[in-house]
Amino acid sequence: MKTHSNLPKQLCFDEIKSTKNSKNGISLVFLGAKIHDFIDIVDGRTQHILKQYFMRYPRKVRKKVKTICIDIYPPYMNMIREMFPNAEIIIDRFHMVQNINRELNKARVKLMNQYKNKKGSTYTILKNFWKVILEDRDKVNSTKTFYSRSFKRYVTRKEVLDYILAIDAEFTASYERVHEIREAIKTKDSAELEKYIDMDTRGLSRGVSKAINTMKKHKEYMLNAVKYEYSNGPLEGVNNKIKLLKRVCYGYSSFSNFRLHILIMSRLFVSEYKNNIKLKENKKKSK
User: Could you write out the DSSP letters of every residue in the chain?
Assistant: ---SS---SEEEEEEEE--TTSSSSEEEEEEETTT--EEEEES--SHHHHHHHHTTS-HHHHTT--EEEE-S-HHHHHHHHHH-TTPEEEE-HHHHHHHHHHHHHHHHHHHHHTTTTSSSSHHHHHHHTHHHHHS-GGGS-SS--EEETTTTEEE-HHHHHHHHHTT-HHHHHHHHHHHHHHHHHHTT-HHHHHHHHHS--TTS-HHHHHHHHHHHHTHHHHHHHHHS---SHHHHHHHHHHHHHHHHTT--S-HHHHHHHHHHHHHH---HHHHHHHHHHHHHHH-
For residue 97, the model assigns a pLDDT of: 96
For residue 1, the model assigns a pLDDT of: 40
The residues of the chain scoring below 50 in pLDDT are 1-2
For residue 267, the model assigns a pLDDT of: 73
For residue 142, the model assigns a pLDDT of: 94
For residue 280, the model assigns a pLDDT of: 59
For residue 265, the model assigns a pLDDT of: 83
Q: Are 43 and 22 in contact (CB under 8 A)?
A: yes
Contacts of 172 (CB under 8 A, 6+ apart): 165, 166
Q: Is 106 exposed, middle or buried (0-12, 13-18, 19+ CB in 10 A)?
A: middle
For residue 5, the model assigns a pLDDT of: 78
Q: Is 125 exposed, middle or buried (0-12, 13-18, 19+ CB in 10 A)?
A: buried
